[in-house]
Amino acid sequence: MCLRREIHNPNRLCYLIHSAKHMSQRIYNFSAGPAIMPRPVLEQAQNEILSVNGIGMSVMEVSHRSKYFEPVLAAAESGIRELLAVPDNYRILFLQGGATLQFSMVPMNFLGPGETAEYIITGAWGKKALKEASRCGNAKTIYNSAEGGFKSIPQQDELNLDQNARYVHYTSNETIEGVEFRYDLDGAGIPSDGNNKECAVEIEHPMMTYKITDFRIIVY
């Protein structure tokens, strides 16, 4: 049984989940956000829920500073670094808040007093990002497809980018409206944050080319 993004009625989705909760067969969830995981991963989690690595305690019952949790954290960091080819001169931070937190962290770290950031709004996530950036400084909307119901994206030549802008932000894959950029925005020298792109996005930097998942920031 499959659950896809096509199901827009939350009551219908709840009904499907309720009617399937006693099923023995696996449900393949392809929705944006939480999705299907490999069965061996789930089985390992199930087996270790009471005693992780045979220590007699669950991973949820031990201190995150303890010697028991250190291998768990090290394995998670190592796996992320390998999967995304993160260079050794970059640190991996485990943060709460998900994408919404990044809407605040980007302007808090990159948008200084008297500076301007440009925002391209093509859906719900872009709107949220603009709202958070406006709390930190001057966030300027240079494209907004709200009037047309968020059904389009701008072509590169439609955008009049300010070369003095601190960065330009766009949501390359609006998962709620289903609007996706089919090209990587060329900031023409302006740092760009392409929020919420799927795996293996290349980042070009004067000193390196870097790949990362979901969020990309180019700093010159």
Give the up-direction half-sphere exposure of residue 178: CA atoms within 13 A in the CB hemisphere: 6
Task: Count the Cβ atoms, other than its own, within 10 Å of residue 123.
Answer: 23
The number of distinct structural domains making up the chain is 2
Torsion of CA 203, 72, 33, 102, to 10 degrees: -50
Q: C-alpha distances in angstroms, 81 versus 87, 163, 194, 198?
A: 7, 33, 20, 16
Residue at 190 is within a domain? yes
Q: How confident is the model over 97-114, as pLDDT tens digits?
A: 877 888 999 899 889 899
Residues 58, 117 within the same domain: no
Q: Residues, the chain, total?
A: 220
**pLDDT of 134:** 95
Structure tokens at 22: 């006693």
Tell me what the pLDDT averaged over the chain comes to.
79
Task: Give the Å distances, CA to CA, from 24 to 1, 39, 71, 119, 176.
Answer: 11, 13, 34, 47, 30
Residue 72 lies in a domain: no
- Residue 133 resides in a domain: yes
Choose the final residue of a domain: 10, 37, 62: 62
Give per-residue pLDDT as tens, 158-194.
998 888 899 899 988 888 888 888 888 876 666 666 6
| Among candidate residues 62, 90, 110, the one where a domain is terminated | 62
Assess if residue 7 is contained within a domain: yes
CATH code of the domain covering residue 113: 3.40.640.10
**Same domain? 102 vs 199:** yes
Residues 102 and 12 in one domain: no
In this predicted model, what pLDDT tens digit does every residue of 52-79 receive, in sequence order?
888 999 988 999 899 999 999 999 999 9
As given in the structure block, the two tokens for residue 139 are 């966030």
Answer yes or no: are the C-beta atoms of 215 and 195 closer than 8 Å: yes
**pLDDT value for 185:** 81
Going by pLDDT thresholds of 50, 70 and 90, the confidence category of residue 205 is very low
Does residue 52 sit in the same domain as residue 102? no
Clarify whether residues 132 and 185 are in a common domain: yes
Q: Distance (Å, rounded) from C-alpha 121 to C-alpha 128?
A: 9
Pairing verdict, β 167-171 and 138-144: unpaired
105 and 182, same domain (yes or no)? yes
**Is residue 6 pLDDT above 70, yes or no?**
no
Residue 77 lies in a domain: no
User: Do 109 and 209 fall within a single domain?
Assistant: yes
For residue 201, pLDDT beyond 90: no
- By CB atoms closer than 10 A (0-12, 13-18, 19+), residue 187 is buried
Same domain? For 132 and 50 the reply is: no
Q: What pLDDT does 211 receive?
A: 37
7-11, 14-18, 167-171, 216-220: which range is least confident on average?
A: 216-220
Based on the fold, state whether residues 108 and 203 are members of the same structural domain. Answer: yes
On whether residue 79 sits in a domain, the answer given is no
Instruction: Quickly tell me which residue has 């919420």 as its tokens.
Output: 196
Q: Which of 62, 85, 114 is the last residue of a domain?
A: 62
Task: Give the residue ranges of DSSP H helices in 84-144.
Answer: 98-110, 124-136
Enclosing domain of residue 53: 2-62
> What three-state secondary structure class fits 144?
strand
> pLDDT at position 28, please?
84
- 88 lies in a domain? no
Q: Are residues 107 and 6 in the same domain?
A: no
Contact 2, 30 (CB under 8 A): yes
Q: How far is CA 200 from the centre of its chain?
A: 13
pLDDT at residue 22 in the model: 64
Whether residues 129 and 194 fall in one domain = yes
163 inside domain:
yes
Q: Which helix (H) or strand (E) holds 168?
A: strand 167-171
User: Are 107 and 17 in the same domain?
Assistant: no
Whether the CB-CB separation of 171 and 124 falls below 8 Å is answered with no
